[in-house]
Structure 1
Amino acid sequence: MTIDTPRLQARVAELLAEYAIPSAAIGVLHDGEIAEFAIGVKNVETREPATTDTIYQCGSMTKTWTALAFMQLVDEGKVDLDAPVRTYLPGFTVADPEASAKVTPRHLLYHANGIEEVFDDPGEGDDVYERIVDNITTAPQVFPLGYTHGYSAALGYAILARILEVIDGKRWDDVMQDRLFDPMGLTSTNSWREQVDHTRAATGHLIRSLDEGPIITPVDHLPRAFGAGGGITSTTREVLAMAHVLLNSGTAPNGKRIVSADSIREMASSRVPVPDPYMFGPEWALGLIVCDWRGETVYATDGSTIGQNARLRLLPDSGTAIAMLTNGGPRESFYRKVFNEILIDLGTAAIPDLPAPDPTLNLDLARYEGVYGRPGARYEVSAKGGKLYLTLVLDPMQAELLQKPDHIRYELLPVSETHFLMPPADPLEDAQTVAIYDFANGTAQYLHTNCRVNPRLS
């Protein structure tokens, strides 16, 4: 291991102060060895220091865990990735007849199902995934089945969890314990907040201004409906145990085989293109994002809750994994700076920058103008003075919580005919990229940002 831990600790401490993030726990797996450290505090009010044993919320990194458990069913011949969901859930129905009959686990695993996240309130009981499936009979399509990529925060993996429950005859939480956590020897990883040792847990924080600094989040956990897609809590070392499975053909650090080598290859190679290839990666695989770092293929899995953030990058060419868990953020520029410091020490590929605008492009701006959105999200794209602008319309409760205006305008700088760089409108934000695409009817039909797809509304 060539990690200069004292240098990294000092640099991460500087960055935590700059970004007003209370703490970060970082672990690096390289050549079979682990280096890890933690900087900062678990809670800004108690000032209790974070350690490498601190438990953080992993958010949507959970999807990779759920995908691994599902691939065990594939190994056992109990499910086929390309069989209709109805094979395992006979009453499965959504509003669109084709999606009802033809959506498969593969569609769900790489977010090409297109089903809107409309499932009412399924409650917090052990039957949450059964209730979600029962509640989506009128859920419409955001896009036709398999037509594009559109990230599903909860619904897609809730359906996969229900298949796991039906086949194993137990709730998803117990499936994860029996299929993954116990065989891997994990004692700090849990799927449900009531299982967490709260004396070791980090507290989530939000930041509304640099002057105010981080405040404790008023929403300290996600609803149980998000469990299979975002409910796992863990430590950096145990996140790296999952990384070890992915990097070592399905084998855990304790030598136990978790999934077959064929399943690991399938998870990495079965992919759909992502409309916005710049922010996270150009393709999405089965429970993994596929990145291109200057010609090197890197796999990613990330997650956020309301006040915590998790990042994992897998570099198969060098047998390396880097994990970072924080109780603030997410901030893309913070993650890039921290990980690039580590990558410099390892002598591996650095994270590429976002693309630069192309000032020579002469676009017909009218083709992009319109309103795009879905429940909980609204984007208004307009042209003025030869420039294109995006106005983000925030939910009033979200705007009040973050102390932001409910309409925030950004300029869109063209990178290509379908991709734009969106500079930040606030010091607490980072630049983002946006895809506005599919001109089948003369005007763009979809806006894709932060992995979510939003169809044209008007």
Structure 2
Amino acid sequence: STVRQRLDALVQKDGVPAALATVKGRDGRTRTYTAGVGDAATRSRVPADGQVRIGSNTKTFTAVVVLQLVAEGKVGLDTSVDTYLPGLVRGDGIDGRNITVRQLLQHTSGLPDYVDHEVILNDPKRYFEPRELLDAALAHKARFAPGTQWEYSNTNYLLAGMIIQKVTGRPLGEEVTRRVIDRIGLRHTYFPVPGDMTIHEAHPKGYERAADGSLRDYTELDPSWGWAAGAIVSTNTDVTRFYGALLGGRLLPAAQLAQMRATVPADVVGPGVRYGLGLLSRPLSCG
């Protein structure tokens, strides 16, 4: 199939150890394809539909919880961040009184990113408190005035997670689990608790390419640095089920789903790319 050929090309041309893809056809059938090896040392096969760290797909889960709270009247999309986290978001050109919840979810806040890959990769088993990550971001000046440009920043979703905790009085992971994962029966998906560094089920290993070109194994790591922006572990099939349920109206009322799907240009990602509230749209050759 074309999907398998493209995965093979990723592995052969780009030197990626493994690639996985799941496609849900118009007939409703879900097919999962794999290429490469699940372990670069033993050359073992990639587990079919194995668990992986889904990284920034976590942002969509976080956005869903925020929008559920909007539907419940507990959060306002156009309310300032400072309303929920008073005095917390301050810095050079940064003021939480001038940034809205919508701008966080949409990546139009102008907040600098907190992710320093060197710090994380040098000590992958370190636990980070959300406040520590926020302080790292606020040490930099604003990228632009809120609402004037688009730029991807993990800090936006870090703050969204903090707002969820403030409004609900519960840990973010519990809210994501209760409101999304358990609600639609994602049995192979979880939000790791602090200190949970090992992927629970069969999984391919995860690597980062070092400066010298070698692969370093980062399968075991503390995902706290990703938190609301990137901590979830899932499978291709579960992620496909999640997006199907979300876009099918099973997680949000129609009004909030429409807000989520209202997009702004995000051309820096690619031609014609647009971004909503935790959703990215990209034009495809098939329309």
1:274 to 263, 266, 271: 266
Give the aligned partner of residue 84 of structure 2: 88
- Partner amino acid, structure 2, of 1:283: R
Determine if the alignment matches structure 1 residue 231 to structure 2 residue 242: no
Question: Is the contact between residue 51 and residue 234 of structure 2 (CA under 8 Å) also seen in structure 1?
Answer: yes
Give the aligned partner of residue 105 of structure 1: 101
Question: Is the contact between residue 82 and residue 106 of structure 1 (CA under 8 Å) also seen in structure 2?
Answer: yes
The CA deviation at 1:162 is: 0.3
Q: Tell me the matched-pair count.
A: 277
Distance in 1 (CA, whole Å) between partners of 2:252 and 2:197 is 25
Give the aligned partner of residue 122 of structure 2: none
Distance in 2 (CA, whole Å) between partners of 1:131 and 1:171 is 17
The CA deviation at 1:9 is: 3.7
Give the aligned partner of residue 12 of structure 2: 17
Determine if the alignment matches structure 1 residue 283 to structure 2 residue 274: yes
The CA deviation at 1:107 is: 0.7
Q: Map 1:384-395 to 2 at 5 A.
A: none
- Partner amino acid, structure 2, of 1:47: R
Give the aligned partner of residue 190 of structure 1: 190
- Partner amino acid, structure 2, of 1:117: D
Structure whose residues are more often strand by fraction: 1
Give the aligned partner of residue 127 of structure 2: 124
Q: Map 1:42-57 to 2 at 5 A.
A: 42-57=38-53
Q: 1:280 to 1:72 in 2, by over 3 A?
A: farther
Q: Which ranges in structure 2 are unaligned for 5 or more consecutive residues?
A: 120-125
Question: Is the contact between residue 105 and residue 278 of structure 2 (CA under 8 Å) also seen in structure 1?
Answer: yes
Distance in 2 (CA, whole Å) between partners of 1:131 and 1:69 is 23
The percent identity for this pair of structures is 27
Q: 1:48 to 1:136 in 2, by over 3 A?
A: closer
Distance in 2 (CA, whole Å) between partners of 1:23 and 1:284 is 28
Q: 1:345-387, CA deviations, whole angstroms, 9 ceiling, x for partnerless residues? A: xxx34xxxxxxxxxxxxxxxxxxxxxxxxxxxxxxxxxxxxxx
Give the aligned partner of residue 200 of structure 1: 202
1:263 to 236, 246, 256: 256
Give the aligned partner of residue 146 of structure 1: 147
Structure whose residues are more often helix by fraction: 2
Give the aligned partner of residue 173 of structure 1: 173
The CA deviation at 1:116 is: 2.2
Tell me the TM-score normalized by structure 1. Answer: 0.54
Q: 1:119 to 1:232 in 2, by over 3 A?
A: closer
Give the root-mean-square deviation of aligned CA atoms: 3.2
The CA deviation at 1:281 is: 3.8
The CA deviation at 1:37 is: 2.8
Tell me the TM-score normalized by structure 2. Answer: 0.83
1:77 to 61, 70, 73: 73
Determine if the alignment matches structure 1 residue 216 to structure 2 residue 216: yes
> Which one scores higher on RCO, CA 8 angstroms, separation ≥ 6?
2
Q: 1:213-241, CA deviations, whole angstroms, 9 ceiling, x for partnerless residues? A: 86333585475132211222211101101
Give the aligned partner of residue 123 of structure 2: none
The CA deviation at 1:158 is: 0.5
Q: Which ranges in structure 1 are unaligned for 5 or more consecutive residues?
A: 252-257, 295-347, 350-458
Q: 1:94 to 1:208 in 2, by over 3 A?
A: closer
Q: 1:147 to 1:222 in 2, by over 3 A?
A: farther
Q: Map 1:331-370 to 2 at 5 A.
A: 348-349=286-287
Distance in 1 (CA, whole Å) between partners of 2:77 and 2:191 is 24
- Partner amino acid, structure 1, of 2:61: W
Q: 1:130 to 1:170 in 2, by over 3 A?
A: farther
Q: Map 1:27-38 to 2 at 5 A.
A: 27-31=22-26, 32-38=28-34
The CA deviation at 1:113 is: 0.9
The CA deviation at 1:114 is: 0.9
Question: Is the contact between residue 203 and residue 216 of structure 1 (CA under 8 Å) also seen in structure 2?
Answer: no
Distance in 2 (CA, whole Å) between partners of 1:273 and 1:99 is 24
